[in-house]
């Protein structure tokens, strides 16, 4: 299985500021995903980040608010821009095993970043 680490693990930020979350994988993967998990809600896909191309955003999420970088096959960042209290959530990075040479169709998740916006 893939080992995924995220930084920071948690942060408390002021309204109007931005936070960049890092995701590091211990193996090369083509596809990386960013999810949001709000209290009492299901995990929601924000965007898919493929190395070498622009990220693909889901309905309700825009690049200006959640810019993503994918500089290589083991690393990605998600920035939460101009934050408001509604952005308080857990943000999770995920990789698809099908693109990393593992058993087909498992999807692994990082430990998450707990963000609180005051």
CB of 15 or CB of 106, closer to other proteins: 106
CA distance 101 to 95: 11
Among the listed residues 25, 34, 48, 77, the single contact to other proteins using CB under 8 A: 48
CB of 74 or CB of 94, closer to other proteins: 94
Which residues make up the interface to other proteins (CB under 8 A)? 1, 4, 40-45, 48, 56, 58, 92, 94, 105-112, 114
């Amino acid at each position: 299985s893939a080992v995924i680490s995220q930084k920071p693990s948690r942060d408390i930020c002021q309204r109007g500021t931005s936070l960049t979350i890092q995701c590091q994988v211990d193996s090369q993967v083509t596809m990386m995903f960013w999810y949001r998990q709000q209290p009492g809600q299901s995990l929601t896909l924000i965007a898919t980040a493929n190395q070498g191309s622009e990220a693909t955003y889901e309905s309700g999420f825009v690049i200006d608010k959640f810019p993503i970088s994918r500089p290589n096959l083991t690393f990605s960042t998600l920035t939460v821009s101009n934050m408001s209290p509604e952005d308080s959530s857990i943000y999770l990075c995920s990789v698809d095993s099908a693109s990393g040479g593992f058993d087909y169709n498992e999807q692994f998740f990082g430990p998450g970043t707990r963000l609180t916006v005051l």
